[in-house]
Structure 1
Amino acid sequence: MIYPKIPMAQTAIQLCKAKGVKHIIISPGSRNAPLTIGFSNDDYFKCYSIVDERCAAFFALGIAQQLQEPTAVVCTSGSALLNYYPAVAEAFYSDIPLIVLSADRPKHLIGVGDGQTINQKNVFESHILYSANLKLDLRDIENGIEEELPIFKSLENKAETLLGLKKTVQEYNEETINKAINTAILKKGPVHINLPFDEPLYDMVNELSVAPVFIAAEDKPLQIDDSILNACVKDWNTASKKMVIVGVNQPNQIEKRWLDVLATDNSVVVFTETTSNLHHDAFFPSIDKIIAPLKHEDFEMLQPDILLTFGGLVVSKKIKAFLRTHKPKQHWHVDLKKANDTFFSLNCFIETTPNYFFSEFLPKTKRIESDYNAYWAHVKQSRLKKHDDYLKSIDFSDLKVFDAVLSSIPNDTILHLGNSSTVRYAQLFNLNKTLEVFCNRGTSGIDGCTSTAIGGAVARAEQTTLISGDLSFLYDSNALWNNHIPNNFRIIIINNEGGGIFRILPGHKNTENFDTYFETNHHLTAEHLCKMYGFKYESVSDEITLQSALGTFYSEDNQPKLLEIFTPKNLNDEILLNYFRFLR
């Protein structure tokens, strides 16, 4: 087998292999040649070549999001590394294990005007779980390339330094790489390993010169402090209004038996979101459909005694505004890692998994008499009828399109949602329960939605469909510069010629300033991009042709497909705003 000659590169590659990091996304460059040589010449790794580092990082994030295991990205030195930052931030806030392997110049070449060089150490400091800054393999201490290790302070004799330093550098690098990858595995988030390589970069050998020590990732046992558990049980058993809100949640993560317990408790209302991937007839999806029409006295009736939350970030602005004003007496959050005080009332962080919490907690609870669930279940049914009545009455628009598109997606497939208006429109509909739904809600940015969806599609055999707005798609159009896109991948673009969500928000619409700087009007389409990148393209602009196109859109083909739906930008906002008025 062919290996890079540089021991540091051998060490990083062998430890990735030992820890099961299989998917490696490589962007071209020279300084990262030792890593590229090692990964691409080992059949264990599945390597992908993606030129645009921003797209590459989101592509890797999509794979890691689906497999729930670390995926690595490899880049050269300089600004290439900075292009990873949006995906690193998304991984940080969405708890996705992403390993950044960045090649760097040696220390003596940084800050002296050498090309393609920036300060790479700790560059992701505020959005990273661990930064590993490796030490250069020592070859010639006389050239002033020694690293700052404690051994220099304790050894006075240069001969002793030369005899002991190489082993010390190797041990340091092994320990640091082990810690970085273990952190990504255990804490579910991004880590950065910065590797300074000196030339020559392309030398290869047939045998490894190092055998790095493998340090296993040791997970802590799940547990809950008895005093906290008992206090929660006591309060739960006396509260007549309990609300559960589930944010972003992996499919099939919560055991059905615990969902059934919550669903059959008359004192509990469970609000789920499109990204929650939880379904039960007694639950309350489409939060905004329930919350938006409420009056002050209704909010007081809905205000919970106890709010229990788990999962990631919550999309609904309306539920946030409601609970920040009508605060629960108690807010508990269950998570292994962090608790966001989203509603400004958090008083109990239960540091474990939801499944373990429910297994310890729910068997000790008891049901009490309450009409909390029954009352809001009646409201839900009323809203559903009005929702259906309104959709029958409106013209072709974004809302009408989402109704048609969301109901057309085949069973047991994967749905990726773009951010901004796309995920918010989807929130208004009860989705097919067999779908797995994903969206980059960690930072809620539009910058990598397409790249993430393509990465996810590569990781899974099931068909993947991305629904995106026009700005989101165009912003990340380099995502299509990718030779790995499966033929069963589908993109649906809802093109309203700009950032349609800004027409819904307060502002002076239909002015030159608004159209240019907020809505960002354009007349671009995806047609020529599809021709360049090998997608089958189709466009529609009315309900009849939309239904016809959707009838064959998901069928097998020898290339991926893109459907672009043009909607009337000057009508969409009024139809949506009138929707909430109609619900009242």
Structure 2
Amino acid sequence: MEQQTINNIAEICHQQEIEKAIISPGSRNAPLTLAFVRHPKIQCFSISDERSAAFIGMGMAQADRKPVALICTSGSAALNYAPAIAEAYFQETPLIVITADRPPEWIDQWDGQTIRQENIYGKHVKKSYNIAVDLSHADAQWQTYRVINEAVLESKTGVQGPVHINIPFREPFYPEKSENWNYDQNVKIIKSIVGEKRLNENQISQLQAELKEKEKIAFVLGQDDYSVEFLQALDQTSQQVNIPIFADVISNGHGLKNAIHLPDSICMSMLKDSKTEVIPDLIISFGKSIISKNLKLFLRKNVKAQWHVRNHHAFISDPFQSLSKQIEAEPISILQHLNKSSSAEFLKLWKDKNTEAETKTNQFLSTQSFSEFSALQDIIKKLPEDSHLHLANSLSVRYANFIGIKQGRIKIWANRGTSGIDGSTSTAIGHAISQKDQNHFLITGDVAFFYDRNAFWHKYPYPNLKIILLNNQGGSIFRMIKGPNQQAELDEFFETEQRLDAKSLCSELGIAHFSAFDAESFETIKDKFMKYPQSAILEIKTDAKINQKIFEDFKKQLIS
């Protein structure tokens, strides 16, 4: 076992700007563990559950905007990374996934902790690499260093995402006490220089000629980690040329002046009868997915032309079935050339509809009995500026989308790459650990919360994270979806009733627990929870059938 070569893998990662590594304990990965933990410039975290560890690493990579290394032992440990890797792939988050493996001669020989690890993540990583088992030859070392450089560069170049490096080890795994321990600071480092992508004058002229034929133009802002500069440029352009910005909750466009931040609510009433004056002639989209199903259906039904603008495209994505141009260029550079004004009446119409939807929402919730929906609106209104709000999947993110965010400097995060319930808490904790000087809030449902309880199974503090737990004793979203709510098996096999609460877990973890079960108890503790100086969980206990009735009545109110 060539420990010096493994040490140099850690050194290359450091020189390629990797500052954090998540390591799950094991024996086969001991050479990697020691190489990274002993490196003076890499901060390492020990997270036992690989499923949670990978999501925590993803949260850190998002927070820092830098790749994070994940290191685990052989066998099923590597498979437990898979959900987070798939999420990171579709969210375009860079991860360096390093799995220790058994030597090739023992694959398929009934040896313990031995599975087929080459290309184990399939098409959910940008690229997979397999390191030679014998690293004693100089050429094998040269190849290893080249591969590590390439893998790290691949993760953060173009469309970012996870890469996989599989390293087989033979025993012994542990160095002798007398063995010299060092890192070669002159190890081979390969840098990448990538220039900006811009359209030429002819291409710009073609776009401007097509724009002249469009009277009603709308921007669609999908989920992405947009720069402040881009959002400012989009805001300015939107105001200059009268273009509304369809910006649902995961877009982070809620602070823009022409943002239509309740498009789901607005489009709910327009799906059956879409009048000509509300239909865009062209939509210009940025980023990735949107969560607003009604907006998506409205655009699919009515819009005939769409330009999608990104720096890099991994594939053609046409979720509105209207894509006519895929523009690969710096989005800000495209905004500079949008000199055709859209209809001022079109902008006013959508802004008026947004105001109407907001008024209806506020009026409706102010007249309802206590529910998780109304409680959540109250909590969201109290979130301090410059906070990070994490939204778990299922009802949490949908409630927030219908409520809307008014504070302009709140940043929204959600695992909408695969949209699974797994890992929402772990991802938020990864953010909170990386950004200790910023406030983080997580809104989650009971199924997602208890599914990911191992997010707390480590020693690293997160006093800047508060969790709002909507506990209705099951996956009550299935009560609100036509189909499962009409089946006799709803209670046991769809909603999956459970009777857990978070009080015992909080006691075990040393986290403050606040509980609300009606309007009076909620009013009593909500401000105490928000002002509490350490990590805390506010558990809002409600009846799933009452929540269902209120949400159904809310949707009727929107289309009335």
Q: Which AA in structure 1 matches 2:11?
A: Q
Equivalent of residue 179 in structure 1, options 150, 153, 157: 150
Q: What residue in structure 2 maps to residue 151 of structure 1?
A: none
The alignment's TM-score, normalised by the length of structure 1, stands at: 0.90
Q: Alignment identity in percent?
A: 33
- Is 1:441 paired with 2:416? yes
Q: What residue in structure 2 maps to residue 20 of structure 1?
A: 17
**C-alpha distance in structure 1 between counterparts of 2:509 and 2:444, whole Å:** 18
- Is 1:167 paired with 2:126? no
Equivalent of residue 324 in structure 1, options 273, 290, 300: 300
Equivalent of residue 282 in structure 2, options 294, 306, 331: 306
CA 576–219 in structure 1, closer or farther in 2 if over 3 Å, else same: same
| Per-residue deviation, residues 327-361 of structure 1 (Å, max 9, x unmatched) | 323443434234421111212111123223223x2
Q: What residue in structure 1 maps to residue 330 of structure 2?
A: 353
Q: Which AA in structure 2 matches 1:194?
A: N
Equivalent of residue 344 in structure 1, options 321, 345, 356: 321
Greater mean alpha carbon deviation, residues 403-412 or residues 449-458: 403-412
Q: Which AA in structure 2 matches 1:374?
A: K
> Does the CA-based 8 Å contact 2:7-2:36 persist in structure 1?
no
The alpha-carbon deviation at position 135 of structure 1 amounts to 0.9
Greater mean alpha carbon deviation, residues 376-385 or residues 47-56: 376-385
CA 235–310 in structure 1, closer or farther in 2 if over 3 Å, else same: same
**C-alpha distance in structure 2 between counterparts of 1:544 and 1:137, whole Å:** 68
The alpha-carbon deviation at position 566 of structure 1 amounts to 0.6
Equivalent of residue 450 in structure 1, options 422, 425, 436: 425
**Structure 2, gaps ≥5 residues long:** none
Paired residue secondary structure (1:244) = strand
Q: What residue in structure 2 maps to residue 243 of structure 1?
A: 218
> Does the CA-based 8 Å contact 2:235-2:257 persist in structure 1?
no
> Does the CA-based 8 Å contact 1:57-1:87 persist in structure 2?
yes
The alpha-carbon deviation at position 22 of structure 1 amounts to 0.8
Aligned residues: 550
> Does the CA-based 8 Å contact 2:247-2:259 persist in structure 1?
yes
**C-alpha distance in structure 2 between counterparts of 1:341 and 1:51, whole Å:** 39
The alpha-carbon deviation at position 417 of structure 1 amounts to 0.6
- Is 1:260 paired with 2:257? no
**C-alpha distance in structure 1 between counterparts of 2:40 and 2:7, whole Å:** 15
RMSD: 1.9
> Does the CA-based 8 Å contact 1:467-1:491 persist in structure 2?
yes
Q: What residue in structure 1 maps to residue 520 of structure 2?
A: 544
**C-alpha distance in structure 1 between counterparts of 2:306 and 2:313, whole Å:** 20
The alpha-carbon deviation at position 305 of structure 1 amounts to 1.2
**C-alpha distance in structure 1 between counterparts of 2:275 and 2:46, whole Å:** 53
Q: Which AA in structure 1 matches 2:556?
A: R
Equivalent of residue 196 in structure 1, options 162, 168, 175: 168
- Is 1:417 paired with 2:394? no
**C-alpha distance in structure 2 between counterparts of 1:344 and 1:387, whole Å:** 30
> Does the CA-based 8 Å contact 1:5-1:203 persist in structure 2?
no
Q: Which AA in structure 2 matches 1:75?
A: C
**C-alpha distance in structure 2 between counterparts of 1:137 and 1:212, whole Å:** 19
**C-alpha distance in structure 2 between counterparts of 1:199 and 1:356, whole Å:** 55
Q: What residue in structure 2 maps to residue 472 of structure 1?
A: 448
The alpha-carbon deviation at position 176 of structure 1 amounts to 1.0
CA 484–292 in structure 1, closer or farther in 2 if over 3 Å, else same: same
**C-alpha distance in structure 2 between counterparts of 1:213 and 1:419, whole Å:** 43
CA 335–498 in structure 1, closer or farther in 2 if over 3 Å, else same: farther
- Is 1:555 paired with 2:531? yes
> Does the CA-based 8 Å contact 1:303-1:328 persist in structure 2?
no
> Does the CA-based 8 Å contact 1:311-1:335 persist in structure 2?
no
> Does the CA-based 8 Å contact 2:300-2:321 persist in structure 1?
yes
| Per-residue deviation, residues 387-435 of structure 1 (Å, max 9, x unmatched) | 2211111111122122111112222111111011111110012312121
- Is 1:96 paired with 2:90? no
**C-alpha distance in structure 2 between counterparts of 1:207 and 1:332, whole Å:** 51
Q: What residue in structure 1 maps to residue 496 of structure 2?
A: 520
**C-alpha distance in structure 1 between counterparts of 2:169 and 2:271, whole Å:** 64
Q: What residue in structure 1 maps to residue 361 of structure 2?
A: 387
Q: What residue in structure 2 maps to residue 148 of structure 1?
A: none
CA 171–5 in structure 1, closer or farther in 2 if over 3 Å, else same: closer
**C-alpha distance in structure 2 between counterparts of 1:242 and 1:305, whole Å:** 6
Greater mean alpha carbon deviation, residues 395-404 or residues 206-215: 206-215
> Does the CA-based 8 Å contact 1:473-1:493 persist in structure 2?
yes
The alignment's TM-score, normalised by the length of structure 2, stands at: 0.94
**C-alpha distance in structure 1 between counterparts of 2:66 and 2:135, whole Å:** 33
Paired residue secondary structure (1:57) = helix
The alpha-carbon deviation at position 45 of structure 1 amounts to 1.0
> Does the CA-based 8 Å contact 2:99-2:165 persist in structure 1?
yes
The alpha-carbon deviation at position 251 of structure 1 amounts to 5.4
The alpha-carbon deviation at position 556 of structure 1 amounts to 4.7
**C-alpha distance in structure 2 between counterparts of 1:97 and 1:285, whole Å:** 29
**C-alpha distance in structure 1 between counterparts of 2:555 and 2:93, whole Å:** 35
Paired residue secondary structure (1:117) = coil
**C-alpha distance in structure 2 between counterparts of 1:295 and 1:276, whole Å:** 22
- Is 1:504 paired with 2:484? no
**C-alpha distance in structure 2 between counterparts of 1:207 and 1:477, whole Å:** 38
CA 334–237 in structure 1, closer or farther in 2 if over 3 Å, else same: farther
- Is 1:406 paired with 2:377? no
Equivalent of residue 75 in structure 1, options 63, 67, 72: 72
- Is 1:273 paired with 2:248? yes
Q: What residue in structure 2 maps to residue 234 of structure 1?
A: 209
**C-alpha distance in structure 2 between counterparts of 1:340 and 1:57, whole Å:** 26
> Does the CA-based 8 Å contact 1:308-1:332 persist in structure 2?
yes
Q: Which AA in structure 2 matches 1:387?
A: T
Greater mean alpha carbon deviation, residues 187-196 or residues 249-258: 249-258
- Structure of larger gyration radius: 1
Q: What residue in structure 2 maps to residue 121 of structure 1?
A: 118
Show the 5 A alignment for 1:218-233.
Answer: 218-233=193-208
CA 316–561 in structure 1, closer or farther in 2 if over 3 Å, else same: same
The alpha-carbon deviation at position 207 of structure 1 amounts to 4.2
Greater mean alpha carbon deviation, residues 461-470 or residues 478-487: 478-487
**C-alpha distance in structure 2 between counterparts of 1:138 and 1:390, whole Å:** 68
| Per-residue deviation, residues 187-224 of structure 1 (Å, max 9, x unmatched) | 31100111111111101532448653100122243222
The alpha-carbon deviation at position 511 of structure 1 amounts to 6.3
**C-alpha distance in structure 1 between counterparts of 2:144 and 2:275, whole Å:** 57
Q: Which AA in structure 2 matches 1:522?
A: Q
**C-alpha distance in structure 2 between counterparts of 1:47 and 1:209, whole Å:** 17
> Does the CA-based 8 Å contact 1:8-1:137 persist in structure 2?
no
> Does the CA-based 8 Å contact 1:79-1:118 persist in structure 2?
yes
> Does the CA-based 8 Å contact 1:135-1:195 persist in structure 2?
yes
**C-alpha distance in structure 1 between counterparts of 2:477 and 2:346, whole Å:** 34
Paired residue secondary structure (2:485) = coil
| Per-residue deviation, residues 91-127 of structure 1 (Å, max 9, x unmatched) | 1000101110111111112222211111111111210
> Does the CA-based 8 Å contact 1:293-1:581 persist in structure 2?
no
> Does the CA-based 8 Å contact 1:105-1:198 persist in structure 2?
yes
> Does the CA-based 8 Å contact 1:265-1:367 persist in structure 2?
yes
**C-alpha distance in structure 2 between counterparts of 1:300 and 1:368, whole Å:** 15
The alpha-carbon deviation at position 479 of structure 1 amounts to 0.6
